[in-house]
Amino acid sequence: MNNLESETIEPKHGRGRTLALVMGGGGGKGGAHLGVLETIESIGIPIDLMVGTSIGGVVAVLYAAGYSVREIADTFAATSIWRLMERDPLGLGMLGLKRFRTTMDDMLGDMTFEELRIPVALVAADLVSGQEVVIQSGPIVEPLMGAIALPGIFPPLNRDNMVLADAGIVNNVPVDVARRLGADKVIAVDLGGACADFQITATGSGPLGLVNLLPSVPMTVANRGLAILVAQLTRFQLAANPPDVLICPEVNHIGMLEFVRVAEGQSAGAAAAQAVADQLLEIGKWRTAGSETLMLLRPPLAAQAVGAALQAA
């Protein structure tokens, strides 16, 4: 487990032009990240570092591992959340992550962070200290399970005297982490509504909205309250550490566990990215100025790997 200050990203194209993409948490809303990536690809912007919280971390590691946007979208769309998750046998969460881990094992195997084609920093929360934890070395799949473990819903991960859980409760859109890792400019994607006035919808909103999963009134109210707190925290953090480009897909209508609505999320992400296309073009020109690295080298993994993962789900 790496200490945040122990490692920075050394750009291969020279100092002063390291561009990071920060992807926030949001569960089933995460399809929006794919639409943003699709737009970034179409513009031809090379990304030097990816920083992800929760579903943003899942998308980041799969993309950096070599899966295409379409392959990741197909995986989400074909995956029923009820097939992936079951009751946690240890009682540390309402639902377990055993089947989800099997899917990630099939897709990523024993891959380490060092083997990714784009450096990735995965952000989790330590429930013991209350602090964020940044993982950027060693095997990927195990810490990923902690990084998506919403407290009380999914079981946290015990690791290195820490109890790792979803970082949405401490830093849902970690722009500051990207800066501290050496990013000169940052593109950030917020799925939780901190870009606009926060609103509660019938299906749940905010990065921690679990209304579709937890119909009981007390739990629904508790999770809506938590969603508001996280959105307000994110609003404050983004004001204190603003990215160079902030992308805010309109995805509050998509439930936390509605991964099958990936196409809607992807469309919303693409639309939001297109809305700031001028800013993206400018940052793309800045990034590629004086550099021969004009395209992102990311050959997709074998299609058989995707098929195997879907079969195992």
By annotation, the residues acting in catalysis are 54, 166
β-pairing verdict for 120-126 and 49-53:
parallel
Q: What are phi and psi of 79, to 5 degrees?
A: -105, 120
Q: Which of 46, 288, 64 is nearest to 187 (CA)?
A: 46
**Dihedral (C-alpha) 157, 24, 270, 307: value to the nearest 10 degrees?**
-10
All residues at 6 or more sequence positions from 38 whose CB lies less than 8 Å from its CB, including other chains: 69, 266, 269, 270, 273
Q: Which of 185, 244, 187 is nearest to 16 (CA)?
A: 185
DSSP structural state of residue 112: B
How does 46-79 read in b/e, with b if 16+ C-beta sit within 10 Å? bbbbbbbbbbbbbbbbbbbbbbbbebbbbbbebb
> What CA–CA distances, in Å, run from 111 to 60, 98, 114, 117?
14, 18, 8, 11
Residues for the chain: how many in total? 313
Kind plus residue range of the DSSP H or E element containing 113? none
* Half-sphere exposure at residue 258, Cβ-oriented, CA atoms within 13 angstroms: 22
Rounded Cα gap, residues 121 and 113, in angstroms: 8
